[in-house]
Amino acid sequence: MQLTNDRLIKVLVVDDSAFMRKALSDMIGSDPELTVIATARDGLEAVEKVIALKPDIVTMDVEMPRMDGIEALKQIMAKNPLPVIMVSSLTAEGAKVTLDALELGAIDFIPKNLSELSVNILKIRQHLVDKIKHIGRKGLVLRKRQKTTVIEIPQYRGERRISIVAIGTSTGGPRALQEIIPALPKDFPVGILIAQHMPPSFTGPFAERLNQLSQITVKEAEAGEPIKPGIVFIAPGGGHMRVKRKRLLEPVIDIGHDSGEGIYRPSVDALMLSVVEFFPGRSLGVILTGMGNDGMKGMIAIKKGGGRTIAQNEETCVVYGMPRAVVDAGVADKVVPLDEIAGEIINSV
């Protein structure tokens, strides 16, 4: 059923390439719930059209003449805050700029991969449309930006202890993790494994950025590494991170490139299901903002195995998809806002 104009999600497409403006507009306009109300060739034009046309959401290229996407994002967030999705190149420099944009208020990003555009047009279109629809309906989740305070670890005497933390997230995850991980102390007593849906060229720079912001050590995971207390391991994009045991020694990280669980790489389910196998009853699963239901199977397994589970609440999620699946499955021990998750993690170890 075609929606009336006042119920359509209005999109502004910003790109200096006429080809990309048309390609993105055609993909977005193919969905009956979306409409491209205008396009812009540079950041200056984008800022003007945001103010004049009041779109629900913007796709923003980074490299443009007159005013680039970063400066346009700064002005939009200052003058007329709304959800902005960055269109980023799949390079190390593109990853760095994208992470800068996420810190400045961009809600998420889509990779600008021209070589894939003609080959996987249907897959790319569906991913783009789903992302715009979920974010456009929710609107901008505004949070107070405050200096992160490291939370002290209280001393517990309970018999039931957590030996590992597994965190899964997708859309909105980088910003959420930048609030959680810097709040953890340097001497956090167990290892933390994170599956964040990201392209391969992005997970390394993202781990470096988190490490710079945090007292706890953060790194991109490598195959064969032992899982140590006080280290956060980010799953490399393009593969699946799992826990395996090397002979009779301590558990180590395995990076696989099989089909894994579902369509996502890295897969949250693949990570969590392996964690349950090696840490039965001693696992903490945390699901943050993201589209789809990746992580639901893993959280069910953690809960059934006697571990603990935490889900981010709807109000603070950019997209309440992955946490909703866990909550609807009835396996979330706690459903809490983003600013309380670090404390809940610490209280569980």
Domain harbouring 240, CATH code: 3.40.50.180
Angle at 281 between CA 344 and CA 276, to 5 degrees: 95
Structural domain of 291: 164-348
**For residue 231, what are its two tokens?**
């280290």
CATH number, residue 70: 3.40.50.2300
Residue 143 in domain: no
Dihedral sign of CA atoms 315, 318, 320, 322 in order: negative
Count of domains observed in the chain: 2
Q: Has residue 74 been placed in a domain?
A: yes
- Where does the pLDDT of residue 143 fall: very low under 50, low under 70, confident under 90, or very high at 90 and above? low
pLDDT of residue 157 exceeding 50: no
Quick check: is 217 in a domain? Answer: yes
Residue 150 lies in a domain: no
Distance CA 169, CA 149 (A): 22
> Which one of the listed residues 89, 214, 294, 348 is annotated catalytic?
294
Say whether both 168 and 126 belong to one domain. Answer: no
Is 170 annotated as catalytic? yes
Same domain, 190 and 329: yes
Angle between helices 121-138 and 18-29 (to 10 degrees): 70
Contacts of 147 by beta carbon, 8 Å cutoff, 6+ apart: none
Nearest to 174 by CA among 104, 239, 256: 104
Residue 333 lies in a domain: yes
Is residue 119 domain-shared with residue 169, that is, in the same domain? no
In this structure, the answer to whether residues 186 and 307 fall within a common structural domain is yes
127 a catalytic residue = no
In DSSP notation, 77-111 reads: HHHS---EEEEEESSHHHHHHHHHHHHHT--EEEE
Residue 107 · residue 85 · CB < 8 Å:
yes
Residues 170 and 62 occupy one common structural domain: no
Q: How confident is residue 129, by pLDDT bands cut at 50, 70 and 90?
A: very high
Check whether residue 17 and residue 78 sit in a common domain.
yes
Looking at the domain assignment, is residue 146 inside a domain?
Answer: no
- At 2 the pLDDT is 47
- Name the active-site residue from 170, 214, 283, 348: 170
Peptide bond into 266 cis (omega under 30): yes
Averaged confidence pLDDT in the chain? 89
Q: Do 134 and 173 have their domain in common?
A: no
Task: Name the band, by pLDDT with cuts 50, 70 and 90, for residue 1.
Answer: very low
Question: Cα dist. 287→7, 44, 299 in Å?
Answer: 31, 38, 8
pLDDT tens, residue by residue, 23-58: 999 999 999 999 999 999 999 999 999 999 999 999
Q: For residues 83 and 219, state if they share a domain.
A: no
Question: Do 46 and 106 belong together in one domain?
Answer: yes
Report how far residue 293's alpha carbon sits from residue 309's, in angstroms, rounded to the nearest whole number.
Answer: 15
The reported pLDDT for the residue numbered 119 is: 57
Residue 259 in any domain: the answer is yes
Active site residue 214: no
Asked if 182 and 288 sit in the same domain, the reply is: yes
**Residues 72, 108: one domain?**
yes
Per the domain annotation, does 132 fall within a domain? yes
Considering the domain architecture, whether residues 298 and 176 belong to the same structural domain is answered as yes
Which of the following is catalytic: 25, 88, 134, 197?
197
